[in-house]
A and B are shown apart, each in its own frame.
Chain A
């Protein structure tokens, strides 16, 4: 059973645009929602994370918006750059347990 659904699968944005990646979850026991960035041949790198008692969190050009009632959260990348081209994964965690990942979004930022 897929517990975290991520969309879109792929996304192409012009430099300077604001790509938005969406995730929805089912298990209301999840209490930590990280985003990871992965470049080809590399391991996932923790980008930013949020807990459900907060509706928005910003770190640099990356923002997470969180809607607890809808069980949805999204990643926004401000002033996107070609170097942001990567695969992005949302995930959800309950306690100190396993991460449940979305399917991933392949983001391309065109110059």
Chain B
């Protein structure tokens, strides 16, 4: 049973470009969560999605960030017009019930 998959694992973007991060949940899981981890810090919740629905986006910055989980395909976290402060590790987690299982993360570097 494959775990949570994320790609790319590393992403370098120049300021002003767009970043697209993808997450495929574990088989049978219908809940997807995105978290951000800044260097030497804990994980901070960003958004919780189910298929075609955003359930809780209370942790998402109001501008430039968006997320989706379409009926077919992976969940996408999109960051428009990236700035240096967006440099972080972005983790996706999926769950069927309470337990959330994390993917390996995408490390975004903005130059």
Cβ A97 vs Cβ B104 within 8 A: no
* Interface flag for B63 (CB, 8 Å): no
Kindly list chain A residues whose C-beta atoms are within 8 Å of the C-beta of B59: 98
* Interface flag for B69 (CB, 8 Å): no
Residue-wise interface mask of B (74-111) relative to A, using a CB-CB cutoff of 8 A (1 in contact, 0 not): 00000000000000000101010111111111000000
Interface of A is mostly: strand
Residue-wise interface mask of A (40-51) relative to B, using a CB-CB cutoff of 8 A (1 in contact, 0 not): 001111100100
Cβ B91 vs Cβ A43 within 8 A: yes
Cβ B98 vs Cβ A32 within 8 A: yes
* Interface flag for B28 (CB, 8 Å): no
Kindly list chain B residues whose C-beta atoms are within 8 Å of the C-beta of A42: 104-105
* Interface flag for A101 (CB, 8 Å): yes
Chain A interface size, as a band, is 20 to 34
Which chain A residues in 17-43 approach chain B with CB under 8 Å? Answer: 32, 34, 36, 42-43
Cβ A43 vs Cβ B98 within 8 A: no
Q: Which of A6, A42, A43, A89 has the most CB of B within 10 A?
A: A43
Kindly list chain A residues whose C-beta atoms are within 8 Å of the C-beta of B93: 99
Kindly list chain B residues whose C-beta atoms are within 8 Å of the C-beta of A100: 45
Q: What are 27 A-B pairs at a CB distance below 8 A?
A: A36-B102, A43-B103, A43-B104, A44-B91, A44-B102, A45-B102, A46-B101, A49-B98, A49-B99, A93-B98, A96-B31, A96-B97, A96-B98, A98-B33, A98-B48, A98-B58, A98-B59, A99-B35, A99-B43, A99-B93, A99-B100, A101-B42, A101-B43, A101-B44, A103-B41, A104-B41, A104-B42
Supply 4 further A-B pairs (C-beta < 8 A) apart from A46-B99, A97-B48, A99-B93. A46-B100, A98-B59, A99-B45, A101-B44
